[in-house]
Amino acid sequence: MTSAQVDTDNIPEEGKAPEEGYERGLGSRQVQMIAIGGAIGVGLFLGAGANIAKAGPSLIVMYALAGVIIFFIMRALGELLLYRPVSGSFAEYSREFLGPFFGYFTGWTYWLMWVVTGMAELTAAAIYVNYWFPAVPQWVTALVFLVVLFGVNLISVKVFGELEFWFSMVKVTALIGMIVIGLGVLTFGFSSAGDTAAVANLWQFDGFFPKGVGSSLMTLQGVMFAYLAVELVGVTAGESENPEKTLPKAINTLPWRIALFYVGALSVILCVVKWTEFAPGVSPFVEAFAKIGIPAGAGIVNFVVLTAALSSCNSGMYSTGRMLRNLAANGEAPKVFQRLSGTKAPAFGITVSVLCMGIGVVLNYVVPEKAFGYVTSVATAAGIWTWLMILISHVLYRRAVDAGRLPASPFPAPGGSKCSWIAIAFLLFVTCLIAYDNDSRVCLYVMAGWAAVLGIGWSVLKSRNPEIAARREPEFEKIG
């Protein structure tokens, strides 16, 4: 019997899954577009500029390589989600397969990842607005966006899903349009860039690896940041109308999304404009359209990437509130985070998260030129931890299934746990690259401090309630 078939009608209220009380208001159309939009954010639109400057055209290979690993991670998560779909998915699986401390640590670290990612998105949004209004300080713009998105996030999940659907639709439509226009420039030679646009741009300027393979590999940390949020479909599991159908479909479409929106879009951009024209801090898409010379084209693209940043920040606020509620339900955060508003949104958790995201506004005031780099490195380190927990939980789950201790998932990952082991090795390699790089190494110090704080917190929690460290049977939620 699969987890989806478990009869929970007679389970007492205290035995229900912690996510009980949420509104299952996310339809298939919304989950699909949230999954697509989650893979298109500021890491691609803004971060790719700095990575192109470091790696040249070889960045395409880095995105493709990382994309394969991300697919392994998502198939592992998909198998777990169909075994037991819950909103606090990553923390819940860590808690079940590695123990209560890992559930606690993963839940809080995923919360940190989204808070820091929200800071990065706010920073990027402020940079985009500077394109039109260079006199407006970055911190002012970041603060305005923070307040507006906070208001949006207190609305019901149905409205959130609809907003994200249209946010994602704008991003997807724009990227496809960019690819089509770029192919038109390459094929027919129109626009100001037509004379120099050529596929040969991928290797003519100091080769495909202009700064060496080592320099290209060093971009992997930035590339992995670009893929953060792709796991957001796991957080939507507790509020999806039909998770056993919508989640596999969303995950299985990931390869073509990566091939089209990352590998495809970057390939076209780097063919139209030679890689030496791009610089850190400037969106390569905005720069490319400025070179093409289409009237208002760069401004339109700038609006699209601004939308992408705000969309991702909006999703971050959604995620943090749900994760804090899951932690509170397990006694690992103050009980006040369990409260739902009249619209069934974890309003208090969202409010606290938004206040923490406000630190990004301060960074934009103090070090506007370095704010984006600082927060993306910390977000990447937190994201790597989350992905590692998903993969390790998947390996342990497969062992339990093989031993007959747990029911098999109706959505098994191809290759069993072998692909998860490959992904684990890759993520550890990226962590070593982060440690080697002087600029990004600071995030490991931040994570060490974060681990120390969480360790102290866990000790306090155990002293107050020893039962919190006891393993519990997994709680299944009725999903039909």
**Residue 28, φ and ψ in degrees, nearest 5:** -55, -45
pLDDT band, residue 253 (cuts 50/70/90) = confident
The CA distance from 424 to 286, in Å, is 35
Q: What is the pTM of this model?
A: 0.83
Q: What type of residue is 425?
A: A
Q: CA dihedral in degrees (274, 279, 285, 287; nearest 10)?
A: -80
pLDDT tier at 381, thresholds 50, 70, 90: confident
| 192-220 residue pLDDT tens | 766 777 888 888 888 899 989 988 998 89
The pLDDT, as a whole number, for residue 459 is 93
Task: State mean pLDDT over 61-66.
Answer: 93
The secondary structure of the chain, three-state, reads: CCHHHCCCCCCCHHHCCCCCCCCCCECHHHHHHHHHHHCCCHHHHCHHHHHHHHHHHHHHHHHHHHHHHHHHHHHHHHHHHHHCCCCCHHHHHHHHHCCHHHHHHHHHHHHHHHHHHHHHHHHHHHHHHHHHCCCCCHHHHHHHHHHHHHHHHCCCHHHHHHHHHHHHHHHHHHHHHHHHHHHHHHHHCCCCCCCCCCHHHHCCCCCCCCCHHHHHHCCHHHHHHHHCCCCHHHHHHHHECCHHHHHHHHHHCHHHHHHHHHHHHHHHHHHHCCHHHCCCCCCHHHHHHHHHCCCCHHHHHHHHHHHHHHHHHHHHHHHHHHHHHHHHHCCCCCHHHHCCCCCCCCHHHHHHHHHHHHHHHHHHHHCCCCHHHHHHHHHHHHHHHHHHHHHHHHHHHHHHHHCCCCCCCCCCCCCCCHHHHHHHHHHHHHHHHHHHCCCCCHHHHHHHHHHHHHHHHHHHHHHHCHHHHCCCCCCCCCCC
Q: Answer whether residue 480 shows pLDDT above 50.
A: no
What does the alpha-carbon distance between residue 479 and residue 81 come to, in Å, rounded to a whole number? 12
More confident residue, 379 or 388: 388
- Percent pLDDT > 70 in the chain is 81
Per-residue pLDDT at 79: 92
Of these ranges, 259-273, 331-345, 352-366, the one predicted with the greatest mean pLDDT is 259-273
pLDDT at 330: 82
- Short-list 112, 229, 81, 90, CA closest to 168: 229
For residues 428 and 434, what is the distance between their CA atoms, to the nearest angstrom? Answer: 10
Average pLDDT, the chain: 80
- How confident is residue 303, by pLDDT bands cut at 50, 70 and 90? confident
pLDDT of residue 450: 92
Amino acid at 345: A
Q: Is the pLDDT of residue 234 over 90?
A: no
Closest CA relative to residue 117, chosen from 286, 285, 280, 314: 314
pLDDT at 156 over 70: no
Alpha carbons 342 and 349: distance in angstroms, whole number? 14
Q: State the sign of the Cα–Cα–Cα–Cα dihedral 16, 22, 24, 27.
A: negative
Cα angle: 137, vertex 138, 144; to 5 degrees? 100
Most confident by average pLDDT, 37-46, 313-322, 364-373, 432-441: 432-441
Question: Residue 439: which pLDDT band, with cuts at 50, 70 and 90?
Answer: confident
> Looking at residues 378-406, what average pLDDT do you find?
92
Which pLDDT score is estimated for 239?
Answer: 57
Residue 472: its pLDDT value, please? 67
* 40-44, 166-170, 392-396: range with lowest mean pLDDT: 40-44
Is the per-residue pLDDT at 375 higher than 70? Answer: yes
Q: Is the pLDDT of residue 361 over 80?
A: no
Q: Which contacts of 204-210 are long-range, i.e. CB under 8 A and separated by 24 or more positions?
A: 204/274, 205/56, 205/274, 205/275, 205/276, 206/56, 207/56, 208/56, 208/57, 208/58, 209/55, 209/56, 209/58, 210/55, 210/56, 210/57, 210/58, 210/275
Question: What would the pLDDT profile of 13-37 be if each residue is shown by its tens digit?
Answer: 333 333 445 555 555 666 666 666 6
Sign of the C-alpha dihedral computed for residues 47, 48, 49 and 55 taken in this order: positive
Flag whether pLDDT at 247 surpasses 70: yes
**Strongest mean pLDDT among 239-243, 283-287, 377-381, 387-391:** 387-391
Task: Tell me the mean pLDDT in the region 139-155.
Answer: 83
pLDDT value at residue 420: 96
Of 128-142, 293-307, 453-467, the range with the highest mean pLDDT is 453-467
Provide the token pair at 112: 């940190």
Beta bridge partners, 26, equal 240
For the segment 344-370, the average pLDDT, to the nearest whole number, is: 79
Residue type, 290: A
Higher-pLDDT residue of 65 and 116 is: 65
Residues of the chain with pLDDT > 90, as a percent, come to: 19
- pLDDT, one tens digit per residue, over 50-61 is 888 888 899 999
**Mean predicted confidence (pLDDT) in 293-320:** 78
- The CA distances from residue 128 to 95, 224, 434, in Å, are 40, 22, 27
